[in-house]
Structure formats: structure tokens, C-alpha cells
Chain A
Amino acid sequence: MGSEKLHFTLVSGDDRHKNDIIKGISRVPIKTKMNHYDDCDTFTEFLKNIEITSYHVVLIDMDDPINVGMDCLKTIRRDSSYSDIVVICYMREEDKNRVEQIFVEGGNIFFSYPQTSAKFHEVLKELVRINWQIYTTGTSIQNLVLKL
């Protein structure tokens, strides 16, 4: 547990989200590494070329019209080499049916993009804390379904 990091990758073409999330995660006192991809194709190319050895968390913007977040989620979940990756999906506004579809397609954690920075920081802190707990306890992500 001492020197390990949680590896986060954000897939979103929205610059504001990129800045908010990268800044927010870097403030959490748990060691993290952050990557960012504007679109799902570049991200999946990146996945193909790396060996997933550390705990890896992917954040997908489900509202992004260019990325088509749901396709990105399906790409990750339908390749068994990525079954250990925790997938977090977010939307600006919660839609009950879409949230259910996200979980059925294999999303692990869902959150609505917070409107205030205080709430946003709280959500990111919780996301990192939950992932750290899962990682350090070896909890299986097979049944991991959480809505923040």
C-alpha cells in the first residue's frame, strides 16, 4: 500500500471538466496519477498499448456527443483484458433509465456532475476514497455498483 498509486484516466472532450477533475483529484491526499483523452478512440488505442498492472480507474463523460460515452463503456467492458478496470460514468443530469443502462453495460460507479465546487470536491474525494478502499482490500469489482 505504501508506494502504489491509483491510476485515473478521464475520457471527455469538455475542457472545463478536464480542468475541474484533474485539479480536484490532485487535491485528494491519496497518491494518484491522472491521464486525459479527448475521445474514446484515442483512449482505446492507449489501452491496447499498455499492460494494466496497477489499479486503473476510467472516468467517462456520458454526455459528450463526440465521444459517445456508451460506446466507450461497451468497448471497455466487452474486452475481458480490461475486466479489472473500474469504470466511473458521469452525466450533467441524472436520467434514471440511462443510469440503469450504464450499470447493466458494466459501469461500476455513477455520479451526476455537481453544480457547486464544494459538492464537486466532496464527490471526487469520495470517488478516490472508495477506489482506494477497493484497491487496498482486494475487493472484487465484479459486483461493484455504486451511485453517488
Chain B
Amino acid sequence: MILYLKYDPHVTMECFIKDLMRSMGVPYNKISAFEIQVDPTANVEQINSISQFLANYNIEINNDTKQQLVIQIKEHIIFMIKNNVNEKLSTFLSEKMDYSYRYLSMIFSEVTYSSIENFYIFQKIEYVKRLAISQNLTLTEIAYKLNYCNVAHLSRQFKKTTGLTFQEFQKIIVGREKLKSKLQ
């Protein structure tokens, strides 16, 4: 029997790290998929043991400042999307991170070879797909949920990002589900 899994990698990662910190008894203040804010009372041995444990899963502690900045940008963008923050991307990021948007854009492109806007739209469309699959929402419902001014705008953005219409995407997902059932 094959068990097919559905999950959100960011939520999974967050749960994994929280469980790890609790099981190792390391005090922390905040955890996200990309960041652990270790409490100042934690000692060096505890931090080293986390680092060693994570290495078993190919997860490294990142000491490169540019990459840390990129990780924070991504984290804020994912927060914006999931929490429906209806603010201009550049204003939100520069206010949250205390750097000019121009500087953040430059660092982001240098490290990821992609623009912040591009990353934002890509992640937003990934979120649209997840909502369509996991909650069976229509494009109109998703557009409303994500504060789009109209469904046509989201529809165009979906097509531009994926090369497919939302209906074509849905047809493929239905086809995959049917195929899975047939193969079981």
C-alpha cells in the first residue's frame, strides 16, 4: 500500500524544529521554518548539539550575513502571503528589516539570481495551488481570500507564472488523482 502525503513544508519544518528544541531541552524565544531565536540562557554545548543533530538531516546553520538577510526576506514574504498582509511589498520589507528596499533587492538578486517580486509572485501562486488542492477552493474564492481586486487579475497572474490556466491546472490535478487511484 502506498500512502500519499499532503503537507506544507514550512509548517512541517517549524513543527520539526519545535519538537527538536523541546526534546533537547534548549530554550528558545521564536521558531520559524528558516530561523531559530535561541534564548540567551542556552549554553554553547546545547547550540552545538542542535547543529550536529540538524546536520544529520542536511540542514546547516548559516553564518553568511547576505544569506541570512535573504532567509529573512523569504520569511517575511511567506508571512505576508499566509497572513494576507495587504501592504506594498517594498514598504513592508524595508519597514520590517530596517534596510532600504533597493539594498534588499540587490542582495536578494545576488544570492538567489531572482528578484524579490518574482519570488513573491511565485510563492503566492504556490499558495493559490495549495488552497485549490487542499481546500477545494475556486479561483473566485481564492481571489477574495487573498484580497485580489478581481478574479481576472489573479487568473492572469496564474497563467503568466505557471504557463497554464487555472482550469488546466485543476484538470491535471484531477487527472493525477484518478491515476493514483487506478494504480493503487
Residue B179 interfacial (CB < 8 Å): yes
Closest Cβ–Cβ distance, residue B180 to chain A (whole Å): 10
1/0 per residue, CB under 8 A from A, across B11-49: the answer is 001000000000000000000010000000000000000
Which residue of A2, A104, A142 is within 8 Å of B172 (Cβ)? A104
1/0 per residue, CB under 8 A from B, across A124-148: the answer is 0000011011001111101101111
* Alpha-carbon gap, A133 to B118, bound state (A): 10
Residue A65 interfacial (CB < 8 Å): no
Residue A92 interfacial (CB < 8 Å): no
Q: How many residues of A contact B (CB 8 A)?
A: 28
> Could you say which residues of chain A place their CB within 8 Å of the CB of B171?
100
Q: How many residues of B contact A (CB 8 A)?
A: 39
Binding site for A on B (CB under 8 A): 2, 6-10, 13, 33, 58, 62, 64, 67, 70, 74, 111-114, 118-119, 122-123, 126, 129-130, 133, 161-164, 168-169, 171-173, 175-176, 179, 183
Which residue of A29, A53, A78 is within 8 Å of B183 (Cβ)? A78
The DSSP consensus for interface residues of chain B is helix
Complex: chain A residue closest to B132, CB-CB: A143
Residue A47 interfacial (CB < 8 Å): no
* Alpha-carbon gap, A46 to B67, bound state (A): 34
Which residue of B58, B113, B169 is within 8 Å of A129 (Cβ)? B113
Binding site for B on A (CB under 8 A): 1-2, 29-30, 53, 78, 80, 100, 103-106, 110, 129-130, 132-133, 136-140, 142-143, 145-148
* Alpha-carbon gap, A142 to B130, bound state (A): 10
Which residue of A80, A129, A148 is within 8 Å of B163 (Cβ)? A148
> Could you say which residues of chain A place their CB within 8 Å of the CB of B168?
100
Are B58 and A53 neighbours in the complex by a CB distance under 8 Å? yes
Closest Cβ–Cβ distance, residue A61 to chain B (whole Å): 19
Q: Supply 4 further A-B pairs (C-beta < 8 A) apart from A104-B179, A129-B114.
A: A100-B172, A103-B176, A145-B129, A146-B163
Which residue of B33, B114, B161, B169 is within 8 Å of A132 (Cβ)? B114
